Amino acid sequence: MRKIFDIVHSDGSVSAKERATVNVLNTSSTSPPPEIVTFPAADKKTKLYGAVFRPLGDDVGEGPFPTVVYMYGGPHVQLVRNYWRITSVPRIQNLRKQGFLVFICDNRGGSRRGVEFEGAIHLNMGSAEVEDQVAGVEYLVEQKLADPSRVGCYGWSYGGYMTCLCLAKAPKTFKAGLSGAPVTHWDGYDTHYTERYMSTPQANSVGYDTSSVMAHVKGMTGRLMLVHGLIDENVHFRHTARLINALIEAQKEYELVLLPNERHSPRSAETRAYIEKRLMEFFKRNLLSGL
């Protein structure tokens, strides 16, 4: 996100266009922090941590609420931590202002929980992770926080992969998802990353096939928006193109937002503001107005 001081000109002025961008991306620093919760993973043995951001407003009630799950899900990342940064994400705060409960769950496969926790995805990415995200939503439903008929998800990169798989493998749980720059088949991603967890395609052909998003497309019933930069140097656009081919073959509807001048992480303030606008409209249309 471009900070305010990044777009102030040398004479101290800020253009109307730039000021509008800041207004979209920034949020109040007084927003209350999330509640850190614990619940069982899908294996019923592992403890998972989640962060619950309730909707903002004086008349939101006690729930259940339309819910958006922010996910990453892959190795080397821990999202749920008891620190200020988790509260400072503008997108989360803007979703709260629109009446959404926002939830983050660190599924098995993430970092800082030991080798066994991270090793749950060994040779089989996209399985334990999805199961644990479903377990997180089920926990919210049991607590009467999430409306089970209005749950969506979003993520970028591995989180985009997770979003697609959640819609495809858990369609009864997730009704809409925005997937940014998703890996859709691990045979097309960096070998120095992938083979640490999946071995080679020759040695683990079944794992590669079953972890592919395309293998599960026929199960999709919810709404999907794909967002991808055309000069993405990390997750090449070919991943989204392969998925679109599978969606067409399966006669599944989708929305597509192309970013011709953007790489893996969108850099321009205008692009970021546009993504926020499209994301908010997408979830309001599909989770607030109904499917």
Identify the band that residue 86 occupies on the pLDDT scale cut at 50, 70 and 90: confident
CB 198 within 8 A of CB 186: yes
Residues catalogued as catalytic? 157, 232, 264
Single out the residue of 234, 254, 233 nearest to residue 243, CA to CA.
Answer: 254
Percent pLDDT > 90 in the chain is 83
| The pLDDT value given to residue 15 | 53
- Fold of the domain spanning 4-288: Rossmann fold (3.40.50)
Instruction: Give the residue with greater pLDDT, 270 vs 17.
Output: 270
| The pLDDT value given to residue 228 | 98
Q: Please give the average per-residue pLDDT across 102-127, as a whole number.
A: 97
- Summarised one tens digit per residue, pLDDT across range 183-198 is 999 999 999 999 999 9
How high does pLDDT run on average in the chain?
91
- Summarised one tens digit per residue, pLDDT across range 142-173 is 999 999 999 999 999 999 999 999 999 999 99
